[in-house]
Amino acid sequence: MAENDATRDDYEDKYLGGGEDDLTERLADIDDETAEARAQALLEGLDDYDLDEEDRALLGAWGFDFDEENEQFADPVVAIVGRPNVGKSTIINRILGRREAVVEDKPGVTRDRVSYKAEWVGKRFTLVDTGGWESDARGIDAQVADQAEIAVEQADVVILVVDARVGITASDEQIVRMLRRVKKPIILMANKIDDSHLEPEIYGLWSLGMGQPFPVSGLHGRGLADALDELLEVMPEHSQYTQPEAPGGPRRVALIGRPNVGKSSLLNKLAGSERAVVNDLAGTTRDPIDEVIELGGYPWRFIDTAGIRRRQHMAKGAEFYSSLRTQTALERSEVAVVLLDVSEPLSEQDVRIIQTTIDSGRAMVLAFNKWDTLDEERRDMLEREIDRDLAHVKWAPRVNISAKTGWHKDKLVPALERSLESWDSRIPTGRLNAFLGELAAAHPHPLRGGKQPRILFGTQVSSRPPKFVLFTTGFLDPGYRRFITRRLRETFEFTGTPIEISMRVRERRSLGDRQGSKAKKGGKGSRKR
């Protein structure tokens, strides 16, 4: 996960002497050939440590850019549907093997994230949570049912979750009628079968006409393997409905922000036409609108999205599915322009949208709308407020604009280009380890329990966004990781992109194991000669 790394914090002052040094000058004295030779020696030194297959795969990728292998096909999409409180979130967490979907014992709890990358026995797919569908005394509202079809129409397979203990309800029957119309393969999961003596509860579910009910327990994981094996049987190799973005095309930009913040107005100004409906009523944009616009001599693909409301569990019907499209648009994009309205105070909602962008791993530009309406005194005051409230994203370029008049719209492209350049960039492994070595020499990690964790080797495993793995002898303090990330940004000029740093703590092998390994290598070498 990306660190909140933009500013110096108390940790540096307390443990690292304020973090001041001559690191830049010292790195300048190390040429590339020397840096690469030192990195190779560090890499060979890792043979003395216990490494697993995944470690060796990461180390074997040294110098190889995974992002250059553009996938020609999109992963199949699986939508999970069901009425509220049938246990969809619990099943999602069980499939993912981690707690991501919010679980609460009350109906209608939906999530900030609705799309997850999942894998079963080596087969990857995208899992989409459509949220719980509320029913009233008259059953599911027709408009909400229509919007539900939008949520599953791009899916290749649908998982229908039913509470086997409750049995079939009117809401379940409404959902089944909708699923029959979309004509997709269905996996029927009869949830909350936590013990074998409850399995007879599933027999009544055959009457839904959705095929074999699979008895499962999202809480304990019971029966999920059989259901997921069946999922793989009916799931296509690649998505039949979603196509990956073509490599080499226009860079993709998502315009995101609260409803009525000026996204459609900005899109219209950039395009020079009334492409998107603009209205003072919040949320008039329901669907993402793609617009290829030439700016700065190059084409850009802009995606105008429905505004993100406070929480998706507060959105009803069309608003919920607009939020779903917003998340989809963010995933399709390479860089996001987060539009903020300076005529209103920065809200918790704005901060959450920024965090959503960071968590998505996309490059980012902050655009402050209606800046032209402020006088000089208010501008100075607002600058200080932004520095304080958004200190954790100090690395994101800021553009002050007017979506209505187009004032300063020409400043948007340079900011986008800076962010994307950093998002795409890769640090040579030699330079990275020279940086880590000089930084640790100037500011060693504090002692913990009489021991001092050391960084053995570092490698950048991918870009878009830049992701780094550090092999260490012990856990690094969160404050020390923030320090590394901040200095990494400063030294290599990462602007407008989140950075992810993960650790792999490894123990030194016993002397006997090390000697045996070296003897084995020596024997192989002598046979070759």
Peptide bond into 465 cis (omega under 30): yes
Rg (CA), the chain: 26
Fold topology of 77-234: Rossmann fold (3.40.50)
- Six-digit token string for 145: 């049912």
Taking alpha carbons only, the member of 304, 238, 248, 308 closest to residue 276 is 304
What angle do the packed helices 32-45 and 429-442 form, to 10 degrees? Answer: 80
Residue 76 and residue 164 in contact, taking contact as beta carbons nearer than 8 Å: no
CATH 3.40.50.920 fits 10-65+426-512, yes or no: no
The CA-based angle 521-525-529, given to 5 degrees, is: 170
Q: Are strands 298-304 and 289-295 parallel, antiparallel or unpaired?
A: antiparallel
Go through 192-225 and write b for each residue having 16 or more CB atoms within 10 A of its CB, e for each that does not.
bbbeeebeebbeebeebebeebbbbbbeeebbbe
Distance CA 110, CA 285 (A): 22
At residue 289, the 3 state secondary structure works out as strand
Q: Which ranges in 339-452 belong to alpha helices (H)?
A: 348-360, 376-389, 412-424, 429-442
CB 410 within 8 A of CB 402: no
Joined tokens for residue 323: 């939020």
Residues in the chain: 529
How far apart CA 197 and CA 165 sit, in angstroms, is 12
Encoded tokens for 467? 């992701």
Q: Is 406 helix (H, G, I), strand (E, B) or coil?
A: coil
Question: Which residue in this structure is represented by tokens 């009334």?
Answer: 274
Q: Which tokens in the block code for residue 106?
A: 């009350």
d(CA 225, CA 39): 44
Whether the CB-CB separation of 80 and 93 falls below 8 Å is answered with no
Helices (H), 154-242: 170-182, 224-234
Of the candidates 161, 106, 97, the residue with the CA atom closest to the CA atom of residue 130: 161
| Span(s) in the chain for CATH 3.30.300.20 | 10-65+426-512
Containing 341, the helix (H) or strand (E) segment is strand 335-341
pLDDT in tens, 191-232: 999 988 899 989 999 999 999 999 999 989 999 999 999 999
Q: Are 47 and 508 in contact (CB under 8 A)?
A: no
Nearest CA among 80, 223, 79, 215 for reference residue 161: 80
Which pLDDT does position 259 carry in this prediction?
A: 81
Residue 332: its pLDDT value, please?
80
DSSP state of 16: S
The gap between the terminal CA atoms of the chain, to the nearest Å, is 47
| Amino acid at site 336 | A
Low-confidence ranges of the chain (pLDDT < 50): 1, 3, 62-70, 102-113, 137-147, 274-288, 306-322, 525-529
Q: What's the token pair of residue 483?
A: 């320090």
- DSSP states along 445-470: PPPBTTB---EEEEEEEETTTTEEEE
> Do the beta carbons of residue 376 and residue 348 sit within 8 Å?
no
> How many angstroms from the chain centroid is the CA of residue 102?
16
Distance CA 440, CA 455 (A): 8
Among 94, 334, 290, which residue's Cα sits nearest to residue 194?
94
Fold of 251-423: Rossmann fold (3.40.50)
Q: By C-alpha distance, which of 476, 429, 479 is closest to 457?
A: 429
Give the pLDDT score at 275. 47
Q: Residue 260 to residues 212, 274, 369: CA-CA distances in angstroms? A: 46, 16, 11
Portions of the chain given CATH number 3.40.50.300: 77-234, 251-423
